[in-house]
Amino acid sequence: MRTAPSPIPPLAWAGLILGAGIASGLVGLFAGLSGALVVLALATLIVAILAWRSATRWLARRAALATPFPEAWRSVLRQWCDHYNRLPDELRSRFEDDVRILLAEKPITGVGVEVIDELRLLVAASAVTLSLGWPTYDWEQLNEILLYPDDFDRDYEFGEDDLSGEAHPWGTVILSVPALCQSFRDPDDAYHVGFHEFAHLLDLEQTHFDGIPLGFDDAAARRWVEIREREIPQMLRGESLLDEYGAHDPVEFLAVAVEAFFETALSMRRDHRELYELLAAYFQQDPAAWDDARGLTLKPRVRPLASRRAGRTGRRRPRSRLST
Ligand SMILES: [Zn+2]
């Protein structure tokens, strides 16, 4: 069971209070007692606001985790979420807690869609699949999720075969409900609009996407770029597990690679081992090992990749608007 940690750890609180005291003292040296009192009052106000926000969040998390995970929600995850089913028991418990925390903290709004519990769970499961290996991760850059009743175009007209999802740099993720349901319904085709759009947010530094996962050190970033440059020609020839959609833009390469990592873990490990290992280390998750443990095996290839993928041409792909 995950606890409900304070979003601001005690050490940070000590630093804030100490900083406020030092700032007041320094101002007092140069501007006298009244100046020091003004600075102290301002610092106290800021610390009080932060403390209030932190306490509110802590209480919301504690309330979200106060009761056992609803059995009806567990049934939905068992029925729809392949990643949940492959997890070892202790991680499945953390997955359930993370789902509840995300649902408690991130608003999900339907636009012409009734946001029923099943949909909320599919949204949360999409994000939590990516962040499960990071116990203190909070999706700080995610502000809200909008659910649309259908695919849409760039003017946000529904029913157009253009976009099935978007991730905006200000923290809004849009998901088409039919595309989201189809993503969970077919768990091993390397297509998942939820994984795709939330993966874009892992790449978001302030208002900028650059295609390098946040948190990579220089060596990992160099390795990532080398692998990407090697993979792209294969993707363009249709000889890769990774969808050709990701070959034209480094930002989309990351999102497509994340989709394939979680949806086709065994094939990724066999055919793209270096990329698989880099992503497994990054996500602190080993989905292929968990598929091994539940007895899944890969069939030998009987046809070239290009011909196996031929039937998928013309399939709708999720896209992301990067800077509007
Ligand atoms: Zn995208």
Digit-coded pLDDT (tens) for 261-307: 999 999 999 999 999 999 999 999 999 999 999 999 986 664 444 43
Distance 318 CA to ligand 1 centre (A): 6
For ligand 1, an ion, list residues with CB under 5 A.
252, 255, 320
Residues 6 or more apart from 20 whose CB is under 8 A from it? 40, 43, 44, 46, 47
Distance 234 CA to ligand 1 centre (A): 19
- Is residue 196 within 8 A of residue 137, CB to CB? The reply is no
pLDDT, tens digit (0-9, with 9 covering 90-100), for 73-97: 999 999 999 999 999 999 999 999 9
Q: CA of 207: how far to CAs of 147, 169, 172, 215, 321, in Å?
A: 22, 5, 12, 16, 12
Distance 208 CA to ligand 1 centre (A): 14
For residues 50-71, average pLDDT: 87
With both helix axes pointing from N to C terminus, report the angle between 273-283 and 250-263 in degrees, rounded to the nearest 10.
Answer: 90
For residue 314, is it left (φ>0), alpha (ψ between -120 and 50) or beta?
A: left
Nearest CA among 229, 234, 259, 254 for reference residue 309: 234
For residues 192-219, average pLDDT: 89
Residues 6 or more apart from 255 whose CB is under 8 A from it? 195, 196, 197, 199, 200, 203, 246, 318, 320
